Structure 1
Amino acid sequence: MNRTTVAMLAALEALITVAIGIGIPLVPLTILWAVDSGFSVDWTLFWQGAVDIWLLGNGVDIEASLPPGVVAATGLAAAAEPFHVTIAPLALTAFTVIMGARAGVRASATRYWQSAVLAALGTVFVLNALAALSSLGEALRPSLLQALILPALVYALGLAIGVLRGRHRIPASHGGVVGRLLTRMQDRLDERFDRFDRAVAAAALRGGLAAVTAILGMSAVLLTVLVLVNFGLITSLYQGAQLGVVGGGATTVAQIAFVPNLVVWAASWLIGPGFALGAGSAISPVGTVVGPIPGLPILGAVPSGNFAFGFLGLLVPVLIGYLAAVLVRPGLVAALSGRSLVRRLLITAAGIGLVAGLLLGLLAWFSAGSIGPGRLAVVGPNPWLVGVFAAVEVGIAAAIGMASGSSRADSTTHAPVLRAADRAR
């Protein structure tokens, strides 16, 4: 394929990404418009709502100004003033990153991957700019500056992941200026760090990623158990809201979009700091203090304060950190061949904790935000506390895991680990 064809295909894929991203909330909203309002309401209002949800999922803040009648119905005096909605439904964020990664992998298989990346980013930029302009209304107004920048950055993250994943298939001579620059940077790193240092870094990265994955997996299991245990309360909240079939379906779709947020909140609960559902509230393993919260049915699964159960929850990240270190330790010992073994094992344990703390802190930051006026401006976990707690818990447990086991190298694992370290070059 020539350069023009590659660029056009990448632009088409970016267009499909934006179209599907807006269509996910637009379809249930359109059904709601047709069934509940009987086509009597201007459909453009639902289009604006779908675009706002898409932009919100890509990190764009939405300024809300509620009419006096709605303010009176909510009973929140703070709602009389304009407020910002900043919490992102991470399911839409993940969709954008995944689609960008798929496009990046396909682009990396061609000689003109730079043109494909530029075409894709330009398409996302233009489409989101047009969508943001079309969604400006009296009640909801997205930040135009953020709409121009943030969705393109989220898609660019996916593109970068895809290109880097597929780059091993591209010779440096075909990578253009960017490919040669990355090759030179890698050569400098190889000169600065030997393969034993790279083995430590690779083990820390693998252990940290494994710990984060396991903690999120256990958090998903915990969330599932809480939903099943509190299913009766969740059902009663649905019934009390009197949403109807279509309204209940739209509410369910909206809650599904926030499931990744809830998984991260469950992870912050397991780690210790917990999360907030409004200023002054705290949901943590040692206690639960909440005030008035939105009547979303899924919030019926919020765990109550139970010290015994919470203490068991705190053991989860500790055990996971220990197991992550135990899993990577044999290969690392074989790769190091006794060279500064104790020091490098401790550095690896600290690296596992650092990687876990950094990733979980970032996820906590992405999952939190504002969902309304007044006290509802503080919803979700504190990213700094989550990151520090995770780094300390996983790091200490990983150090214990590194201190256990034999210090003799296993010849069966020596060669594969060194090859893995060489591939990290």
Structure 2
Amino acid sequence: MTARRPSLAPLLHRMRDRPPGLGASLLGGAVAAGLGLGTLAVLVLALWVSSPYPDSGPGGALHVAAALWLLGHGVELVRTETLSGAPQPVGVTPLLLLALPVWLVYRAARDATDASADPEGPPPVPARTAWTGVVAGYVGVGAAAAVYCSGADLRPSWSGVTVCLPCVVACAAAAGVWSGYGRPPEPVLGPLRVLPEPVRRLLLGTDAWARLATAVRAAGAGAAVLCGGGALLAGISLVLHGDTARASFLQLTEGWTGRFAVLLLGIALVPNAALWAASYALGPGFTLGTGHLVAPLASDPAPLLPPFPLLAAVPDAGPGTPLNWATGLVAVAAGATVGWFVARGAVPQGGEGEAPPQGCWPAGRTAGALLLAALLCGALLAVLADLSGGPLGAAALARFGPVARETGAAAALWTAVTGMPVALVVRLWRLWRRRPNQDTGPARGATAAGPARTTARHNPGTPAKPRREAKPPALTVGGPVDPAEDERYDVLPATDPFPSAWEPEDLSRTSRWAALTEASAAPQAPAPPAPRKPDAEPESPTPPTGPPRQQPPSGDSAPPEETG
């Protein structure tokens, strides 16, 4: 009659023993995903509302917003409504769309650690708990968005949803948790222990954290110079092809709403154009479809491309000219920047004339740090180049953008070749600026009479103490002290609070008393001798006037006690 209901004690026990902060981390990850998705949805809905010819209802606009949000994470989309009826992939990720999700995940993971600046505050949330919660919350919202737009005309590929989306979120969350804990070196140096000992010592040495931090900063600076130089090259080429770019911009659409949408898309693709131009300056170039390479040495004729303003900046087909070859200066500038940053880490900043600190790196360690920076710069450029490109269709449009492995290898090679001499030369220059001053003025002014006079003040048979090294003039309220005056006061005996064990106390006191008496007594001029009378007997010399000169006591008698 009575059925025994299951006990809720195990469930309550598991809920009570769950890691602290897991719920807040899940909520933080979900909120970060919602903010990014909501921002893009508001923008797409605003364009849809202002469009005079909307093709679909608000549901279609929301589907497009969700698909574009997934595309910003590197997820490849599939377009089903085509003229041929065959699905066409869309894989070029606007890197400006990628910046917003990465920043939101980073902030959510950093705040999830709940690390207090007060030392007496509560302990932070465990790193694994914060990372797991943020990633799970964000990926859960991303999976729901993928399911929502899976039946639309622009749908995501499930391979990208299961691989690209978690990888981007996991990396950004790991960076946020690491920053929340104060950027400790242990999580970064831990994975390097899998390397063999000779390789690890060659790349990092004993001061692994300092060398790795310097290499990371140098690699980031080199990548920034490459991207900035690429943006400059793209802007110059776009200005030179201004008529073509303006015609393509007006040809795409007629209404102001459509033109504004094209303008926003072009702005979102500006980082992609900068990376394409950087790969062009490095040498490998980029592809405009299968088998159509655009490089400084030669450019193949491009296929029939859609009219888009940024594509108008592509260099003309044919062999390269000196103007095309001059783009290599961007790669040289990036290598010089990496070498400068490595040299700054090898010899820390200091004033002129200061002695270099003990932590200055030798030439071999500086070269090793530069090679490590070159490898990191090449890896970063390879990842960014792979994200900036992708397919825009099938057949001839299957590949757009730079080849990742070629761009990364070229960036590492250029950085190592051009940065090595810069790093070594700048290191020597900084060491030369910080060489110690060779001014030995007080020592050069000393003569041989100085040591002899100091030795003569000691009693006969007493070994003379070595003269102390000359010091620079001391600073006083009235200005620097005269070296001669400083030397005069230097010979005055002072009471030694820690007398030497090998020097007898009587002998040291006798020597100090003799030196004090000789220094305090004023020299007396001898009286002129009286004229001698021829018939009188020679008179004894007249004793000098003035107080009798006090003679130093003999070795048997002790001098008067010193009053301090």
The TM tier, using the shorter chain, reads: 0.7 to 0.9
Shift of 1:347: 2.0
1:3-402 mapped onto 2 (5 Å cutoff): 6-36=21-51, 41-66=56-81, 70-71=82-83, 79-110=84-115, 111-114=124-127, 115-137=129-151, 139-168=153-182, 182=187, 185=190, 195-196=206-207, 198-289=209-300, 290-304=302-316, 306-333=320-347, 341-402=362-423
Alpha-carbon distance between aligned partners in 2 of 1:184 and 1:374, rounded to the nearest angstrom: 45
> Relative to structure 1, is the Cα distance of residues 298 and 40 closer, same or farther in structure 2, using a 3 angstrom cutoff?
closer
> Relative to structure 1, is the Cα distance of residues 207 and 139 closer, same or farther in structure 2, using a 3 angstrom cutoff?
same
In the alignment, is the contact (CA less than 8 A) between 1:109 and 1:169 conserved in 2? no
**Range 206-215 or range 263-272, more displaced:** 206-215
Give the TM-score taking structure 1 as reference length.
0.80
- Residue identity matched to 2:405: W
**Range 255-264 or range 322-331, more displaced:** 322-331
Q: Cα RMSD between the aligned structures?
A: 3.4
Shift of 1:343: 2.8
**Higher relative contact order (Cα pairs below 8 Å, separated by 6+ residues):** 1
Aligned residues: 393
Alpha-carbon distance between aligned partners in 1 of 2:153 and 2:427, rounded to the nearest angstrom: 65
- Residue identity matched to 2:307: G
- Residue identity matched to 1:143: S
Give the equivalent residue in structure 1 for 2:474.
Answer: none
Alpha-carbon distance between aligned partners in 1 of 2:205 and 2:291, rounded to the nearest angstrom: 50
Alpha-carbon distance between aligned partners in 2 of 1:408 and 1:28, rounded to the nearest angstrom: 53
> Relative to structure 1, is the Cα distance of residues 51 and 405 closer, same or farther in structure 2, using a 3 angstrom cutoff?
closer
Q: Show structure 2 runs of 5+ residues with no match.
A: 1-15, 116-123, 348-355, 436-564
Shift of 1:410: 4.2
**Range 143-152 or range 87-96, more displaced:** 143-152
**Range 251-260 or range 13-22, more displaced:** 13-22
> Relative to structure 1, is the Cα distance of residues 225 and 19 closer, same or farther in structure 2, using a 3 angstrom cutoff?
farther
Give the equivalent residue in structure 1 for 2:491.
Answer: none
In the alignment, is the contact (CA less than 8 A) between 2:60 and 2:152 conserved in 1? no
Alpha-carbon distance between aligned partners in 2 of 1:117 and 1:204, rounded to the nearest angstrom: 26
Structure with bigger gyration radius: 2
Shift of 1:164: 1.2
In the alignment, is the contact (CA less than 8 A) between 2:28 and 2:137 conserved in 1? no
- Residue identity matched to 1:91: L
Shift of 1:412: 9.4
Give the TM-score taking structure 2 as reference length.
0.62
**Range 274-283 or range 144-153, more displaced:** 144-153
- Residue identity matched to 1:317: A
SS of structure 1 residue aligned to 2:392: coil
In the alignment, is the contact (CA less than 8 A) between 1:331 and 1:413 conserved in 2? no
Q: Show structure 1 runs of 5+ residues with no match.
A: 72-78, 171-178, 415-425
- Residue identity matched to 1:160: A
Shift of 1:413: 8.1
Shift of 1:277: 1.8
- Answer 1 or 2: which has greater helix percent: 1
TM-superposition CA deviations, 1:368-408 (whole Å, max 9, x none) = 11112221111000111111111111101112213424648
**Range 225-234 or range 311-320, more displaced:** 225-234
- Residue identity matched to 2:72: G
What is the percentage of aligned positions where both structures have the same residue?
25
- Residue identity matched to 1:293: L
SS of structure 1 residue aligned to 2:150: coil
- Residue identity matched to 1:328: V
In the alignment, is the contact (CA less than 8 A) between 1:196 and 1:335 conserved in 2? no
> Relative to structure 1, is the Cα distance of residues 309 and 185 closer, same or farther in structure 2, using a 3 angstrom cutoff?
same
Alpha-carbon distance between aligned partners in 1 of 2:125 and 2:208, rounded to the nearest angstrom: 35
SS of structure 2 residue aligned to 1:404: helix
> Relative to structure 1, is the Cα distance of residues 49 and 396 closer, same or farther in structure 2, using a 3 angstrom cutoff?
same
> Relative to structure 1, is the Cα distance of residues 166 and 31 closer, same or farther in structure 2, using a 3 angstrom cutoff?
closer
Alpha-carbon distance between aligned partners in 2 of 1:398 and 1:200, rounded to the nearest angstrom: 16
Shift of 1:145: 4.8
